[in-house]
Amino acid sequence: MSVVKRNLVQLYYDTVSPWSFIGYEIIKRYQKRWDCDLELVPVNLGYVMGYSGNRPPISVPNKGKYMWDEIERAQKFFGLPLSTPTSFPVNTQTLQQHLDLVAQSSPSLLTPLTEIYFRAVWQRNLPCKTVEEVLHILDTDDAAKGLWKSDHDRRESVEQATSKEAKERGKTLAKRIVEEEGVFGMPWFNVTRARDGQRMQFFGSDRFEQMAAFLEKPYAGPHADGRLSKL
């Protein structure tokens, strides 16, 4: 049990996961209402799957088909436009390693960069495997302007994310949270209640009613304002 001044939501996420995108957007809607701090922790979902022995839904034919139907419904329910990637699963290793690098070296960039990369994968349908592809994402998203002092700094940042050290760090983090925290998928929320320091874990983008109950805060639907969604 740890003591926190405000409610704390720690989010493990990978931009390859549409549910991570949805989970991120919904917790942002509730952040002020629930009086909570949000800590973003980019993780490689592939490594988590491997270390935990889990299987992605796409590997089971019926689950894979159902997943795309569910994503179509989720767009309407959560009010979040999503497009189907040309090739899935998308290789987001470079994105995730870059986010992890930024989290350590320039934490103020983590939130805008997370949103840029989620949009690239799930709204703009852009390739993101190579350094040049990632740089193209950053070149063509207005939100990326001014995040680095120069084009050279931006390129250097992305190139550092492809190093062996960055890859090994991603493996180490995934292995640790699987073994020490029981993580098996994403989005994964570690929620700490300020009142008594109690901590609870939640998996998936459909556990916000339970989070609200744990935090003793109101749940006001997927839009956090009481509006009803229509399918």
173 in a structural domain: yes
Mean pLDDT, rounded, for 21-48: 98
pLDDT at residue 3, rounded to an integer: 66
H helix and E strand count, the chain: 9, 4
**155 in a structural domain:** yes
The predicted structure's pLDDT at residue 2: 64
Q: Which domain holds residue 103?
A: 7-215
> Which DSSP string corresponds to 21-64?
HHHHHHHHHHHTTTTEEEEEEE--HHHHHHHHT---GGGSHHHH
**Residue 2 maps to a domain:** no
Rounded to whole angstroms, what are the CA distances from 39 to 11, 107, 219? 6, 10, 21
Q: Would 222 be classed as within a structural domain?
A: no
- Portion of the chain with pLDDT greater than 90, in percent: 89
Looking at residue 83, which CATH number applies to its domain?
A: 3.40.30.10
On whether the pTM is more than 0.75, the answer is yes
Instruction: Select the more confidently predicted residue: 164 or 85.
Output: 164
In whole numbers, what is the pLDDT of the chain averaged over residues?
A: 96
Share of the chain above pLDDT 70, in %: 99
- 113: in domain: yes
- Asked if 150 is an active-site residue, the reply is no
Q: Is 18 inside any structural domain?
A: yes
- Within a domain: residue 46? yes
Q: What is the pLDDT of residues 103-154, one digit of tens each?
A: 999 999 999 999 999 999 999 999 999 999 999 999 999 999 999 999 999 9
Question: Does residue 1 register a pLDDT over 80?
Answer: no
Question: Contact, 209 vs 46, CB < 8 A?
Answer: no
pLDDT score, position 17: 96
Among the listed residues 2, 17, 83, 229, the single catalytic one is 17
The tally of domains found in the chain comes to 1
